[in-house]
Amino acid sequence: MLYKISKVICLVFLKLARRLKVFGDSRLPPGRGIIVVANHISYWDPLVIGCSLSRKIFFMAKAELFNIAILGSFINNLGAFPVQREGTDRSSIRRALELLGAGKVVGIFPEGTRSKTGETLNPHLGAAMLALKGGVPLLPVAVSGTKGYWGRVKVNIGKPMYFNTQNQRKVSRTEMEHVSRELMAEINRLLTVIDR
């Protein structure tokens, strides 16, 4: 209930104050696990993406945010879950795979941090690993204009990317790097289109 109410309020604000424009198909197939993967330039990004897609997104968020009393409690109630950005966080991996196995939508920013220049950064391999291990598609999303408090915000939603996967199998680093390169190339392509 909190998610739906928050989404309506944020959507009204984004439409009126930031002139939100969404390109692509915002309807996600129901009941199927999928990973939403986007570039990251601002704290606004999760909110904008959550308002641009039809289903509830369970975002991986840096663990430090959950230590901020009111914010941590709020984003936890919205479905976000913490991830330690250094090393391998097995508990967040387990949580993401559980959600995907239950047919939920998990949101990840593969760059791991916000880009200060607006250009995409080299991705971490977590999103690719989860897609390959969970046997679920990746949905590339490009976000533009979210820096600051004014100006038009644009979201370009790509098509789901499917890879040859088998649930719970061991995944090689080479496979994860290949998937990550393809994913970031598609996000960059979507950014190029959105910024014309």
Residues 138-195 have pLDDT tens digits of 999 999 999 988 899 999 999 999 987 555 568 889 999 999 999 999 999 999 988 7
What average pLDDT score do residues 22-48 get? 94
pLDDT of residue 86: 73
* pTM (two decimals): 0.93
Distance from CA of residue 46 to its chain's centroid?
7
The number of beta carbons lying within 10 Å of the beta carbon of residue 33 is 22
Say how many domains are in the chain: 1
pLDDT of residue 165: 59
* Structural contact between residues 59 and 192, judged by C-beta atoms closer than 8 angstroms: no
pLDDT of residue 55: 96
In CATH, what number is assigned to the domain containing residue 73? Answer: 3.40.1130.10
What are the angstrom distances between the C-alpha of 28 and each of 17, 31, 86?
A: 26, 9, 31
Domain containing 114: what range?
Answer: 2-194
